Amino acid sequence: MPQETTVLIVDDSSIVRRVLSTELDKMPGIRVLGTAPDPYVARDKMLSLRPDVITLDIEMPRMDGLTFLRKIMKYHPVPTIIVSSLTPKGCKTALACLESGAFDVVCKPGAAYSVGDLTQRLGDLIRAAARSKPQARISPSATVRHLSTRAMIETTNKVVAIGSSTGGTEALRVVLEPLPKTAPGIVMVQHMPAGFTTSFAERLDGLCQIEVREARDRDTVVPGRALLAPGDKQMTLARDGARYIVRIKEGPRVCRHRPSVEILFESTATFAGANTLGIILTGMGHDGADGMLSMRKAGAYTIAQDEASCVVFGMPREAIERGGACEVRPLNEIPERIIRFAEGALKATAA
């Protein structure tokens, strides 16, 4: 019989504590050990109950969730999932939580996000978090720092397509931060709710040499620019004459996600083919696995992040097992591979 994953729920709302406890206890393989109304009570229960995973609110009395998270990761690392009302005002705080070691962030129930949506997503995350280990912030390798100063072939007919999910906010920073302004145009899907992607893109833009922003319909894909799919919208690559553009649209969830990596990768295979580098990063599930295989069959060069550097080795594993990856690389080596691709040094092999 599989071992149960134990959870401690930390939230100042008695209603949220009760609802999450009731719903999560119904889920196979999950057992709620207890709840706490603030970080001080949570600290004592963590030491006595030893939960596998913690869910943590951000706004709480006596100590905010971000401060408590940083203490957890410093003194007693436990996989921690932030459960918060992600308003535009709070997005930067949520991003800071991810930077500080949170496994992922999910929205509390609201007008667009039901209790059922939350508990299903949270259950999946809890199971994945129990198999993970908190990871330190990764710095670009010396090789990448050196290469990022080199001139590269400037061209508008190369596209880098990246897909990521759980753990992807930090992984994308590691990939994008070392890239020079001459890097190929980049299109990205990171599984995030609406209202979150704008702040995330702005934060990356402040850290990177390239321009990073949330994509708008008909934005052009050009060197030195990375476009992030908006939360709760699907993004595809398309052609407009000699240019590559993105299309932003409503649409059903694919592989349970909107935006979906699968949608982006399939459109990239169709419209960019061998002019593409496809990269699949940390995340649970299989979103993007079939799309990456389609890209490889269309002549694209494809890379999957390796297990050791993944927070969750779900999406990369699926892509590898289905034959979609030309190679498997540690996260901190991927920026160098983007540079090599731009120089024309990477050639795809048949799937």
The per-residue pLDDT string of the chain (351 residues; one tens digit each, 9 = 90 and over) reads 468 999 999 999 999 999 999 999 999 999 999 999 999 999 999 999 999 999 999 888 888 888 999 999 988 899 999 998 755 555 777 788 888 889 988 877 764 456 777 888 899 999 999 988 766 555 555 444 444 433 333 334 799 999 999 999 999 999 999 999 999 999 999 998 888 899 999 999 999 999 999 999 999 999 999 999 999 999 999 998 778 999 999 989 999 999 999 999 999 999 999 999 999 999 999 999 999 999 999 999 999 999 999 999 999 999 999 999 999 999 999 999 999 999 888 877 666
Q: pLDDT digits over 195-235, tens only?
A: 889 999 999 999 999 999 999 999 999 999 999 999 999 99
pLDDT at res. 51: 96
Tell me the domains of the chain and their CATH numbers.
5-130 (3.40.50.2300), 142-342 (3.40.50.180)
The set of catalytic residues is 165, 191, 287
Q: Measured between alpha carbons, how far is 180 from 184 in angstroms, rounded to an integer?
A: 9
Cα 301 to chain centroid, rounded? 21
Exposed (0-12), middle (13-18) or buried (19+): which is 137, by Cβ within 10 Å?
exposed
109, two tokens? 């129930």
pTM of the model: 0.80
Contact status, residue 286 vs residue 313, Cβ threshold 8 Å = no
Tens digits of per-residue pLDDT, 229-280?
Answer: 999 999 999 998 778 999 999 989 999 999 999 999 999 999 999 999 999 9
DSSP 274: G
